[in-house]
Amino acid sequence: MKCLIAAAGQGTRMREKGEVKPLIELNGVPIIERVIKNLQAGGVDEFYVTTGYRGTKVRSFLDVLAERENISITHVINEDWERPNGLSVLKAKEAITGPFILTMCDHLFDPEIIKSLLAHDHEPGTVSLCVDYNIENPVVDLDDVTRVNCTRAHIENIGKVIRDYNAFDTGIFYCHDVMFEALEKSAGEGDESISGAMNILGSWDKARTFDIEGRLWLDVDDPTAFGKAIVYVDEGRL
């Protein structure tokens, strides 16, 4: 199974921990390596990584990792890394064919999420977002998390500031090629984010949800989340 990892952003809120966010170490292991290892444990065997800010340094590390662990890693370069994250996905349009997992370089998660996602029978021509229905989840940063208004199958609305929501966006997607179509459509309308594309997919009735069933996930995007990640890594949960 293929996976695209978005790793192009600057990660300014993590600057006190390191200059290059994907390479910041959690107990001696760079965050992006932990993400890749979790994905491998879940069943992914082919990786595509979009890099941008300090991309040469990240790509050099990934080349070493690929050789050391015998992992297939293809580089995708996003020179417009200062723009929204949807562009990091769209840059991979010519590189990836067929279904793929999409996630972020700073999202750690229980590999069982990926195993369950891959075992699911996904409807062709759709994109499934892994959602957390525990909106009281103490791990989640309510000031930053992307919120989702959805049924058990369909996404009605998604965004960081929506008031009516019943789930959180975990940053893990199962994508078909329609994701690229939605990204292009959303960008043409002025929204270059992944959430913008998901709202387009929702309007096309092509956005689906996948319940992570309470499994652990964490967006490591600031020092507070980093501290939580250290605890979970020490406990062997991430």
pLDDT digits (tens, 9 = 90+) for 131-145: 999 999 999 999 899
Choose among 108, 115, 11: nearest CA to 54.
11
Contact 146, 163 (CB under 8 A): no
Helix (H) or strand (E) holding 166: none
Whole-number Å distance between alpha carbons of 238 and 227: 13
Amino acid at 173: F
pLDDT at 100: 98
pLDDT at 29: 97
Q: What percent of the chain has pLDDT above 70?
A: 100
- The model's pLDDT over 7-53, given as tens digits with 9 standing for 90+, comes to 999 888 888 888 999 999 999 999 999 999 999 999 999 999 999 99
Would you list the DSSP string of 84-137? -THHHHHTTTTT--S-EEEEETTEEE-HHHHHHHHHS-PPTT-EEEEEE--TT-
- The model's pLDDT over 96-123, given as tens digits with 9 standing for 90+, comes to 999 999 999 999 999 999 999 999 999 9
pLDDT at 11: 84
Q: Is the pLDDT of residue 59 over 90?
A: yes
Residue extents of the structural domains in the chain? 2-130+170-234
Whole-number Å distance between alpha carbons of 69 and 141: 33
CATH architecture designation of domain 2-130+170-234: Alpha-Beta Complex (3.90)
Model pTM?
0.96
Angle between helices 194-203 and 178-188 (to 10 degrees): 100
- The model's pLDDT over 227-238, given as tens digits with 9 standing for 90+, comes to 999 999 989 888
| pLDDT confidence tier of residue 152, bands split at 50, 70 and 90 | confident
Q: Is the pLDDT of residue 153 over 90?
A: no
pLDDT at 13: 83
Cβ-Cβ contacts under 8 Å for 163 (sequence gap 6 or more): none
